[in-house]
């Protein structure tokens, strides 16, 4: 798994988060949201009894995580809003150059 992860990072021009190739630190950035997901959705909100319940809960959590939650590293701005502003700044910078 770690090797596949490293290969994918290379395909998109990204560097591993820490450590050397094919060690347990290679996928630290990928594993971090999984721990949050497990703690917040699975453990805190209780068991689901049907596939549809699981699917809906996952969709709602991912939507909240990516679009609505306030993130301290982003000055308490939701990730989707932060990204939107970043792209807007990129376009403004390109037009002024």
From first to last of its 97 residues, the chain has per-residue pLDDT tens of 678 877 888 888 887 665 555 555 556 666 777 788 888 887 787 788 898 988 898 899 889 988 999 989 999 999 999 999 999 999 998 887 6
Q: Could you state, in order of their start, the residue ranges of all structural domains in the chain?
A: 1-46, 48-97
Tokens 């549809």 appear where?
52
* Closest of 64, 76, 75 to residue 33, by C-alpha: 64
pTM higher than 0.85 for the full model? no
Beta bridge partners, 77, equal 71
Question: How far is residue 20's CA from residue 53's CA, in Å, rounded to a whole number?
Answer: 39
Tokens 């049907």 appear where?
50
Beta bridge partners, 71, equal 77
Q: What is the reported pLDDT for 19? A: 57
């Amino acid at each position: 798994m770690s090797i596949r992860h490293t290969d994918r990072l290379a395909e998109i021009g990204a560097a591993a988060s820490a450590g050397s190739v094919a060690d347990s630190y290679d996928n630290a950035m990928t594993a971090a949201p999984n721990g949050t997901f497990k703690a917040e959705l699975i453990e805190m909100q209780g068991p689901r009894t049907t596939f549809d319940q699981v699917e809906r809960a996952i969709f709602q959590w991912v939507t909240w995580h990516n679009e609505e939650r306030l993130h301290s590293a982003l000055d308490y701005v939701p990730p989707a809003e932060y990204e939107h502003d970043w792209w807007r700044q990129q376009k403004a910078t390109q037009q002024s150059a």
